[in-house]
Amino acid sequence: MNRHILPNAMLGILGGGQLGRMFTLSAKAMGYRVTVLDPDPDSPAGSLADVHLQAAYDDPAALQTLAETCAAVTTEFENVPADSMRFLERHIRVSPSAECVAIAQDRIREKRFVREAGLQTAPFLAVEIESDMDGDLSEFLPGILKISRLGYDGKGQVHVADAQAAKAAFRQMGGKPCVLEKALDLKLELSVVVTRIESGEAVCFPAAENQHESGILDVSIVPARVSADVSERARRKTLALAEKLDYIGVLAVEFFLLKDDDLVVNEIAPRPHNSGHYTLDATLFSQFDQQVRSMCGLPPGGTRLLSPAVMVNLLGDIWREDEPAWDKLLSEPNVHLHLYGKKSARIGRKMGHYNVLASNPDAALAQALALKQELLKP
């Protein structure tokens, strides 16, 4: 398995959204060919890939084609059926493993795994059925009831003040397994993206400081404005989790930094992460380059930060009758615009992002936020 997969080989990816698109761009720049599996005929990655298999993620014929034509397969999202990955694993190199994806796609398993790895999570209660909330819930309240599977961008989450509200929210979300998690008082949020290969070699990108708007990532600031001690602890914890998962590929770990500087693991993503998009322009290699390299059995590329950077997400909300005023961004010599080629803009939909590079994170943030205002002006 230590054989390197070299350019011109076909690489497969499950999912053709923006993460699949940026993976495809990176793979193609290196001379690989790409097959995307995504049922959406307009998927952002589909049109750039060499082959777009328009089929469901559990379509046996499509999976068979991936197994027969690709040298290795990866995924852009954690909600791919774990059985599809298990099927592919019997035939070709799959990274991350089906097992790692199965853990990350289930909040209950994920949080238990983090605890078993000796790391802190928010106090949480696994709620399989409503009566799991019959006992004393004071440890978890006020809290957030989060659906265990298929939640993202703050979807499938309800803030609850008391047991009655928690039970009502559980019923309202269809009685599916959930976690009831204590709402913590956060100093700030951080994330670290790590790349790990089969030999155990692992490298982390610098920690990003993340600001959310209505549960969706809004801005990532790099380097995070925290002490060297905090970022070093975040890095070590990320490496420890990757090690414990025996992870191969790109893994993101989201942390909460509490008022007393404790670092709590929020969640993990078995793939490149929105908060790592700054690596497209600000580090030696990007997180998508790392995804390609790790699935090909190549050593991870360097992660050195070439410039402080701020990433701003562009959500569908800013599309009015016209496209946003892109020239405001394109006129700046230190701003990179990335658009995902999505046909329709909807509220909360991730349409693109831009990276602002500057001599320090505060300057990058000030310019990034000023540009965001400019974008909305006619």
Q: Binding ligand ADP by CB under 6 A: which of 184, 188, 339, 369?
A: 184
Pick from 323, 324, 331, 316: nearest CA to 367: 331
Backbone angles phi, psi at 105, to 5 degrees: -90, 0
Which of 256, 219, 230, 252 is closest to 356 using CA atoms? 219
Structural tokens at position 23 = 């993976």
| Window 85-104: contact mask with ligand ADP (x via CB under 6 A) | --------------------
Cβ atoms within 10 Å of 270's Cβ, excluding its own: 26
What whole-number distance in Å separates Cα of residue 375 and Cα of residue 318? 8
Say whether residue 186 binds ligand ADP (CB under 6 A): yes
* Cβ proximity to ligand ADP, 17 vs 151, nearer residue: 151
Residue 357's nearest CA partner among 313, 302, 308, 320 is 308
Q: What is the dihedral of CA 178, 169, 181, 81, to 10 degrees?
A: 30
> Which residue from 215, 223, 316, 348 is in contact with ligand ADP, where contact means CB under 6 A?
215
What's CA 82's distance to the chain center, in Å? 17
In the list 212, 225, 244, 349, the residue contacting ligand ADP (rule: CB under 6 A) is: 212
Judged by CB under 6 A, the residue of 99, 130, 132, 153 near ligand ADP is: 153
Minimal distance, residue 32 CB to ligand ADP, in Å: 30
Q: Which is nearer to ligand ADP, 157 or 231 (CB)?
A: 157
Rounded to 5 degrees, φ, ψ at 95 are: -140, 135
Query: If binding means CB under 6 A, how many residues of this protein chain bind ligand ADP?
Result: 18
**218 belongs to the binding site for ligand ADP (CB under 6 A):** no
- Backbone phi, psi, residue 37, to 5°: -105, 115
Between 57 and 255, CB nearer to ligand ADP: 255
Cis peptide before 123 (omega within 30 of 0): no
Using CB under 6 A, which of the segments 146-154, 165-173, 239-247, 347-355 binds ligand ADP?
Answer: 146-154
Rounded to the nearest whole angstrom, what is the least distance from the CB of residue 10 to ligand ADP in the complex?
31
Q: Which stretch binds ligand ADP (CB under 6 A): 182-190, 194-202, 294-302, 344-352?
A: 182-190
Residues engaged in binding ligand ADP (CB under 6 A): 122, 144, 146, 151-154, 181-184, 186, 189, 212, 215, 254, 266-267
